[in-house]
Each structure stands twice: as C-alpha cells, then as structure tokens.
Structure 1
Amino acid sequence: MNYVRFKKDGKRNYGILDGKEVKLITGDIYQDYKLTDLVYQLSEVELLAPCNPTKIVCVGLNYLDHAQELGMEIPKEPLIFLKPTSALIGPADEIKYPQMGQQIDYEAELAIVIKKETKNISPQQAKEHILGYTCFNDVTARKLQARDGQWTRAKSFDTFAPIGPSIASGIAANNLEIKLLKNGEIKQNSNTKQMIFTVEEIVSFISQVMTLEAGDLIATGTPPGVGPVEREDKIEVQIEGIGTLKNMIK
C-alpha cells in the first residue's frame, strides 16, 4: 500500500496511490480509514509531504559502505540528531540554497514513518509501530557542519528535509535498493542491507530516548557517494518499492 497526501481544489486529503491514480480515503491513515469512490489522476493533484511529523529524528553514519568510504570506525550504537519540522518539504518543492550555505550536499535516505505512540519498545515490537517508509533527502550545509562541530545549523535550514512521494507499507525495508541521481547521473547507489543498524533496532533505540508520535519521521542514514549541489540541479532519491522523490535546487 502506498499512502499519499495531496491537495485538490484547495483541500488537503489522504489517498492511496495506484499507478497514475489517487484513490481518496476518509479517516486516519494511522488508525481507521475508508476508501471512497472518488479517484483522481495523479496529474490532477498536487502531492504534499506525505506526513506531518512532530519531530524528525536522523541517524548518522549507518551504512557499512559509507563508513568504509570515509575510513571511519563502525559506531557501536546509533548516532542520532534532530531536524526541525520547519525544514520539511514535499515532492517537487524547491530546495532553497541559503546565503550562508557555502557548500550544500545531498544525502539519500530511507525514512521510517511511525504509526502510533512509541516508547521503550524492543526491536521485536518495532514493526507494529511502523506505518511505512518514504524517501528522504538529508540536505546538509557541509562546511557549516565541519565548522560548528555539532550539526544543528548545517541540517536545519528551511527546505532541508524533502520527503515523499508516498508512504509505502508492507515492504522489506532492510533490503531495498537506494539511489540518488543528480541531473540524471547516479551519484549514490547502495542497498539498505548495508545499514549497520536495522530499522527495528533504530526505532527501539530512539524509543528509549524520546516518545515517538504518529507521523514522526526517522531518517536512517545515507550510503556512500554524498556530494555537493548547485542551483538549478535536479535531485532524485529513488528507493525500491517507494518511488522517486524529485526536487530542484534554487
């Protein structure tokens, strides 16, 4: 199942994406909903960020091949940080290149969408707390990240958290192809089986620190090949079973 959030005639709705059609639903995708008879062509609607998180939790250095690329020691537990929800944008929205940015990098990531309140759970319990998964671009002001020594400023500019196009449920998240294309050229190409910590381990770990709410996002780290962008670049995050998140740098 692929859930989308969209705007039609000025109204925001949830729907189920089926090929090039969006089937309108009523109710709460995190609890109970009903499928209606209304069907729109994908070209008739504006896709929005597929969820409204209370927080965006990110995991750093979570791919074996990325750690090897950087020559860094494998972390013994997930390294987590936060992005503000003010950074959130949806598919086709523009990523704004900030004046103080200096060097802006892309980072393709798989993001977990939480289904219900989650606190102090085990990895074995995690699946029942996950609604699904979406594409995420952890846009980063790399030179500011190095200068500050902590990551808040570098990760938090408005538009630095694109997600979408859908929330895919019922997929094997620990074995998915993940790619990033810049202007049609593949820059990142890996598989989530390279993740050091599985999605279940990540959700469990974070739930020991903070309470997760329905709709919250957890970005699970990026594979090797991270690099800079320039204005007018077209960035695509492609994840098997989810789709393609497309954004332009402006």
Structure 2
Amino acid sequence: MELPPSPSQPLVVFDQVEVKYADRVALDGVSFEVQKGEFVFFVGKTGAGKSTVLKVISREVRHTGGRALLNGRELNGVRPSEVPLLRRQMGIVPQDFALLAGKRVWENVAYAMRAVGASAREVRRRVPEILERVNIGHRADAFPHELSGGEQQRVAIARALINNPVLLLADEPTGNLDPEHSIEIMELLAQLNVRGTTVLVASHDMMVVELMGKRVIRLEAGRVVPPVEGMGLA
C-alpha cells in the first residue's frame, strides 16, 4: 500500500473514533487531523487513551466505531496481510524500547532493514549513518544491557528511522528517563521533524511537552478535551 500522502489531504484523520473493549471504553468519539510534517503531542493521565490512538494508527488495535484514515485510507480496511507493510512504512518507538538483548546496537538497527529486504551493502552504508544522526554511533558494538536508558531510547529511535518513514509514532519516549535525557530525546525528535518526518508522541511528561511548544491534543477518559496551559498530569 502507498503511504506517502498527497499534499491536498491530511496524513491522519480521526472522525468520531471509538475503541471499546468488553470491560471499558478506551476511545469515545475522538476526532482530530494531522497534516504531513506536523509534530503533535497526545497528553493525558494514564488510561486517558493516548497509547490507544497510536495503536489505532499502527493497526495494532482496530477501532470499533467512527473513521480512522491514514493518507485517505480507512485503517479498518487494511487487510491483515497488508498490516506488516503498513508498519514498515512508519517508525514505531515502543514504551519499553523492545531491543533484542542478544544483539549489539548496530545489529538491532540492521535487523529492521533486513526485515524489509535491504541488501547487505545498503545495511553497511545506512546503519552507521543513522546511528551517528541520533548520537549513538560510538556505542555501535555495545549490547542493550550495557547502555543507559537514554542510550537505549536513542537506539530505539534509530531503529524506527532506519527505513525512512514519513510518520514516527513514539509512546512515552521519555517515560523512563531523567529530565536531562528527556529533553535530549525530545530535541532529537524535533530535529527529525525538521527533516520532514511527521512525529506523533504520547506523553504525560508535561514539563517536556510545554518546553517543546508543539501542538497538543489532550485526552481525558478517552475523549479529546481542551488543553489547559500549565497543567500537571499524573
């Protein structure tokens, strides 16, 4: 499936999107649009629906009501066989990093390239380049357990970017980091955004969100509510 958007339409559209489980409602009539090249924070307390929004976009979760469009295509219309291709064309930074413990830094990043059929030559060229871009090239031969939390997060971002996605989804990318490293990671995401990558971040770290000065979509109990300047979230 083709992901790169046309200039005339939003990259992401949610129109009264609902996600209901047997025991709870995760999203309740959520509507918003994201244009290509935007940097958007989804904020709210734990359980507000931030991560669910990202999971709907990546088709990890199917919405049960409303419309969710990616580049004009209804996500529930994406066939199961197409989902892996969809995800390969976006970068996903999970909350827990999800690095391969027995693989070195460069191998973790190279794995994502090999998964899409990149040649050995292309892997050798591209991996050092992306590691340097996220300032982790000096740790290319280290194993995940030898890295700090901030370094592991940089590797996860490098892996998400290695296949040149037009869209990056980051779920609580600073959740396990101290304030200094949190700001470093967000500044890195901002630099990637300047290069043209659309960046969507789920976060409850309002100090960092306010410092970045980007667009904010606030969720509360699965609904979009007006942002509140200077609010603090648990």
TM-score tier by shorter-chain length is: under 0.3
Structure with the higher fraction of residues in strand conformation: 1
Q: TM-score, normalised by structure 2?
A: 0.27
Q: TM-score, normalised by structure 1?
A: 0.25
Structure with the higher fraction of residues in helix conformation: 2
